[in-house]
Structure 1
Amino acid sequence: MNRTDRLHALAEELRRAGPRGRTAARLAGWLEVSPRTVKRDVAALQQAGVPIWATAGPGGGYVLDASATLPPVNLTPAQAVAVAVALAGAADAPFAADGRMALEKVLDALGPAARAETERLAGRVWVRGPAPRSAAAAVVEDALARRRVVVLTYRDAAGTPSRRRVEPLAVARTEGHWYLMAWCRERDAPRWFRWDRIAAADLTPEPVPDRDLAAFGTPPPDAAPVRAGAHRAR
């Protein structure tokens, strides 16, 4: 486990522990590191603004402030199945792998009876199998999330490959396909790259500058930005 993953795991374990907290020794055993490493990791999280407090005494340890904890997830089985169906129907979509991990967290939060009912109900919903997912998808997703330039190996409609250094800006689903909207450095112009034609991708450390999406023209009539909680505004 690298340090970034360990810091995330440490914060999540303290979140699960709640006000009881965890001792350095217990955290060290769980993470398979030394107590000294745990203390350094906690200090790093504190410097990053994570509200972790140390408690004194023989049973002392570390506690994550209640303000940083999440409320329990109270989904009905039908709601959990709805999330699963949405993800299963978009298995070839950008960030699909992250979606599957998020679904596991949702299922973990359900009680045994609700989990069993969710699995029973989910077995009554069938979806068409997903389209093949590009091996380069994870790299492109990382570039989009981190706002980094990425080098694509791209095949056009005739199957002809080309290398493109691009600035990923957005993704869109239209006319039955996912597209990466990116500024092409070779063409010095905006381009739409069909997701399933991206054969390979290499992430670079170069940051993507701010660009106006208006350069890509009028949005397709069958595409619209995703909005978290957009249904509340309707």
Structure 2
Amino acid sequence: MRADRLLSLMLLLQRAKSRQLTAEDLARRLEVSARTIYRDLDALSSAGVPVYAQRGPSGGISLAEGWQTSLTGLTQPEVQALAAVAAPGALADIGLSAALESGLIKLSAALPAVHRSLAEHARQRLHVDASGWFQGREVVPHLDVLREGVWQDRKVWLAYRDFDGEASERVVEPYGLVIKADRWYLVAGAERGPSIFRGARVAGARLLEATFARPEGFDLAACWKALSRRFAEQRASYVVTLRVTGEGEAALRRVRPGGEHERWGRGTCGREGTSVVTVDFERESIAVSQIVGLGRGVEVIEPAALRARLREIAKDLRAVYGARGAAAPQRRGRKR
């Protein structure tokens, strides 16, 4: 969003030609604070855009006379990358897929003829589909409210349910929205500091009149990375010791890969060619759901409570699928 705002700011100043615009004028047009405008001007200046600010009653902000940006400087890889941009479902969720498509059409029309040919060439050779297989998108019923809070820097009242279903209410300062693996997340300022809220767990949301000032120098991508790292370090822990065969470990790793934050402990040799490993499943419910379908190749050693729970599940399954629950054999026809 900031990159789009920087481009809009640069084009506003370019369109104004020699006329100076005040920070308040720019803030009103871009629907941000004057402080944000000054930060964006510093970013443009650092990127080599000749931006000048003059103080005083008749002062304002302008570009160097005669300077203007041009799209003709795009490189071939840049044109190919732009052509590969699709209209993902995430933008449709917040009502921007049509805007992206029309913007790309305008961008394509502004390109020189040789670049338009390159763009079409790339579009027919690279398609981006961010959706997953056999997995529906999560419903986020209050996404519109969250989006307005983010766009307008207005506080939002949330009714929220955490992973364990515990309900709470709070007022947050919505800094930004993040889409990760088809899941929406809200990054917001809360009583305990910047926090992440999963969009599908927002049970209620109401946009408030009160506004807020975003933290000085806030960067959404950097904040998300830091919060994700903190989540990985502080997440719930439920360590299980398992005896696995080679096939069992391979099956378990398919449903429980190491991933970015390793959850597997070092293995030791067990009896009869098995290994003993430790895996952090975060919660008992997750351990049950992922182990129960793996069969003989995976055996829980500890904790004892998990062994007992799996034993009860095995009894229930045997009651349904054991000898008494088996289908009766078909009778042979009578001999005539």
TM-score under structure 2 length normalisation: 0.35
Q: Could you say which structure has the greater relative contact order, defined with CA pairs below 8 angstroms and 6 or more residues apart?
A: 1
TM-score under structure 1 length normalisation: 0.46
